[in-house]
A and B are shown apart, each in its own frame.
Chain A
Amino acid sequence: MSLLNLSGIEKQYPGVKALDGVDFQLREGEIHALLGENGAGKSTLVKVMTGALEGDGGSMAYLDKPLKLKSTAQAQSVGISTVYQEVNLLPNLSVAQNLYLGREPKKFGLIDWKRIYRQSREVLKRFALDIDVTQPLSSYSVAIQQLVAIARGVDMSAKVLVLDEPTASLDAGEVEQLFDVLRELKSQGIGIVFITHFLDQVYAVSDRITVLRNGGLVGEFETAGLPREELVGHMLGKELQAQAHRAPERDDRAAGEPLLELDDVAVRGSLQPTSLTVKRGEAVGLAGLLGSGRSEVCRAVFGVDKKSSGALTFSGRERSFRKPAEAIEAGLALCPEDRKASGIVGPLSIRENIALAVQARRGWWRPMSRTEQQELAEKFIAELQIATPDADKPIEQLSGGNQQKVILARWLATNPELLVLDEPTRGVDIGAHAEILKLIKQLCGEGMSLLVTSSELEELVAFSDRVAVMRDRKKVAEIEGEEISENRIMQAIAEA
């Protein structure tokens, strides 16, 4: 029987269609995985089905009756509960208080604490949790906090449980504990929507899979009947088919001596020991799904995250960058993944944004004159075809693609030896997307050394001399030369 039935859901944000006619069906007693890469529309869909957001179009039915959700409170009252990645309970209150927050059992108008504690213990027993419910929630691990959040949801007579990346911060044992609970809930007829980017977990626990991509529905599949490679293909929008590697046209002087060498470099908590080499004049791609450790490699190389072990050699010298400034000084450049938080300096002009990295490298006592800044900005506005009336426009007023071009210009202006691009085409419109790709290819052709991450395999295949594949926070494969194809990369990502 169908618990929740969404059909033709649409949601428009300024400039982006976040959901374009998406259908989603949750049956009674199933665990349904909702998958997709960044920007696929997963979180928007979840927000619509939990009442956090109203869709612009489409309809929703709950237990075969039409349902219009106005708020998360309403969703909860009809039986749709959500547990977010960051536990949205109150860490300073006790476990029992959290479980009964806002619906405390009362006696003579006062809260009946005895009953709260007794019932809390009973509820948690169903989840195989034997903990002191009078202790503050924060005194327990994230895993237990997650289970408490789930228990609260289920105890509020949830029929639908939405779990948004519940396993992101759990270790293997804790994940098993969570899965046991999910299977138990499933057997009670509860429908569970499970969002994750760990494929192993999808196959371990889910019955069916819905895949979204770029706001559209790719399809709904039975987990048992869907091979991993096919799933990865659906997520990345690639069919399994032979596609030749199109190596970039480049000078013969390419691929000289090693420029960057990582020897078992690890970052505590985010990157397993990883070895990787980028030779002079070589373009190395970093492939992998969201959370696979792609960005973590970039951050470790650039000194954003301090490596906890291993050796990093750059330009023949062993280095240990403690902050980006040191990496920049050595000749590195990084276009970060999160453009808004770590890339653009929003209210400042294009001119200033381009000049900043050069200026920071020069030091404050050797200022670039206004004319110098202007010339630099105009040169790059022309070369990278940044669409703007003038260089004085605040960068935050540009489109995503043009912002990205400005960030690229900022780093090209420093004449880096190695340019690290973390998802350079993320959140960029199609036109700018093609231009940025063209630019990357051009830089390859000119002999620039590049380390590029991307979730678009097509891109990586288009310009990489070598592709390193990341999974579960470490490198699992390296594909070189003619071997590089979307299929090969997908297989490497999907391998169990």
Chain B
Amino acid sequence: MNNLPPAAAKEQPVSPAGPRGLLPPLNGRYLWPLLGLVLLLAINLVLSPEFFQVKLVDGRLYGSLIDVLNRSAPVALLAIGMTLVIATGGIDLSVGATMAIAGAVCANMLVGGVDSIFLVVAGGMAIGILIGAVNGSLVSFLGIQPIVATLILMVAGRGIAQLINAGQIVTFQNEAFTFIGTGSVFGVPFPILLVLMVFAAIQLLMRKTALGLFVESVGCNAGASHYLGVNARAVKMMVYCIAGLCAALAGMIAAADIQGSDANNAGLWLELDAILAVVIGGASLMGGRFSLVLSLVGVLIIQCLSTTIIMSGVPPKYNLVIKSLVVVFVLLLQSPRFQAQMGALIALAKSKSNKSVGERAEA
């Protein structure tokens, strides 16, 4: 390749590499979800200025904003895992049930007299990874459609959790474990810190190794990735395992929060919130490019919305309808086709008004 002719392309300045570090650039892709979040926050500011007040009480931060962040922690963890799964073109419906199983395992270990908090946490994490491995195997080795493969554990998982709990709500008293849900470090609630830690770890794993590139490659074109020598099966396996792990952590927060494991309700329907957050973050369910940051923005939009609806004084029975309307609106905003159509409509309206002005002038 040494004696190739000097290329004409050389004369064109090749644009310098934009910094693609850990945090992404603010371009069109990031604009709309962020705009949605800012809009919601602005509405809150108008509705109740105290929304942004943060107070330090007994060494712990309090306020609506902290509340939103804290409450959104489980979904945020789920969304981090879900983002990767969706990036490979898959979906994981079982994460809510995984939360219940992980909670049940931890609760039973605590009740059963396991003293070491590390052992309990490790047990919960291990069960999450195991569940992810089952999902991953079904998807990548047996070739089952992700939505079907994970539906199995979505349904069976809650049953498994109920079996582990022998049909009861298993409660426990353990300060160390409860800390996961209610503790705080330097005033910041631990669940928020946990989300930040997991986010940082996964972001580093994806962007500072080649895994992120492989995930996107498999999601964009699994066939070509195979021809390229990317081990698509291993990549899929990995993302489901990460999703399982994230779900287990979320499950531990939920269990620690109520100091017990409720197999029926822990993480119920949260998989849908997680998927919604990823979609609001602008990811395509067909797979491809992903952004953990945007998914977290999606989580905040969902959580902010719930808080906003409550604070705005709208009767609670309208909650779900309003929530879905706003979601539809945010998704529409992101659709290139909708943007184009709106643009055309605005242009049309302008030209019409111009024309009518012209006609009037002629008359």
Residues of chain A having any CB pair with chain B under 8 Å:
302, 304, 323-325, 328-329, 334, 336, 341-348, 352, 355-357, 359-368, 370-371, 374, 378, 381-392, 410, 412, 439, 442, 446
Contacts and interface: CB of A to CB of B under 8 A. Distances in A.
Nearest to A351: B17
A270 B118 CA distance: 56
B14 A360 contact: no
A267 B229 CA distance: 21
Contacts of B14: 378, 381, 390-391
A342 B228 CA distance: 9
19 contacts: A324-B226, A324-B229, A325-B230, A325-B231, A328-B229, A334-B227, A343-B224, A347-B216, A359-B210, A365-B210, A366-B210, A367-B210, A370-B17, A370-B19, A382-B6, A383-B4, A385-B7, A385-B9, A392-B18
Contact of B224 (A323, A345, A367): A345
B217 interface: yes
Given A356-B213, A368-B210, A383 B1 contact: yes
A383 to B, nearest CB: 5
B272 interface: no
Contacts of A360: 214, 228-231
Interface string B114-141: 0000000000000000000000000000
A374 to B, nearest CB: 4
A-B pairs with lowest CB-CB distance, top 6: A325-B229, A390-B15, A360-B229, A328-B229, A382-B7, A367-B210
Interface string B56-86: 0000000000000000000000000000000
Given A382-B7, A383-B7, A389 B15 contact: yes
A378 B7 CA distance: 11
Interface string B288-322: 11000000000000000000000000000000000
B220 A347 contact: yes
With a 10 A CB-CB cut-off, give which of B8, B9, B19, B211 has the most chain A CB atoms: B9
A173 to B, nearest CB: 34
Contacts of A347: 216, 220, 288-289
Interface in B187-240: 208-211, 213-214, 216-217, 220-221, 223-231
B220 A324 contact: no
Contacts of A382: 6-7, 9-10
Interface of B: 1-4, 6-10, 12, 14-15, 17-20, 208-211, 213-214, 216-217, 220-221, 223-231, 288-289
B216 A348 contact: yes
Contacts of B230: 325, 356, 360
Contacts of A442: 3-4
B9 A367 contact: no
Contacts of A361: 229
A359 B20 CA distance: 17
Contacts of B214: 359-360, 364
Contacts of A392: 15, 18
Contacts of B2: 446
Nearest to A368: B210
B226 A385 contact: no
A378 B216 CA distance: 22
Given A324-B227, A347-B288, A356 B4 contact: no
Contacts of B217: 345, 348, 352, 356
A374 B17 contact: yes
A410 B228 CA distance: 9
A420 to B, nearest CB: 11
A363 to B, nearest CB: 8
B8 A364 contact: no
Contacts of B3: 442, 446
Contacts of B19: 370
B130 to A, nearest CB: 22
A314 B216 CA distance: 32
Contacts of B208: 367
A386 B221 CA distance: 22
A345 B20 contact: no
B224 A341 contact: yes
Contacts of B18: 392
B227 A364 contact: no
Given A378-B14, A446-B1, 10 more contacts: A304-B226, A343-B227, A355-B213, A360-B229, A364-B210, A367-B210, A370-B17, A382-B10, A383-B1, A384-B4
Contacts of A385: 7-9
Nearest to A385: B7
A348 B224 CA distance: 12
Contacts of B228: 324, 328, 345, 356-357, 360, 410
A324 B225 CA distance: 10
Contacts of A323: 226
B108 to A, nearest CB: 36
A344 B221 contact: yes
Contacts of B231: 325, 360
A244 to B, nearest CB: 26
A412 to B, nearest CB: 6
B89 to A, nearest CB: 12
A412 B209 contact: no
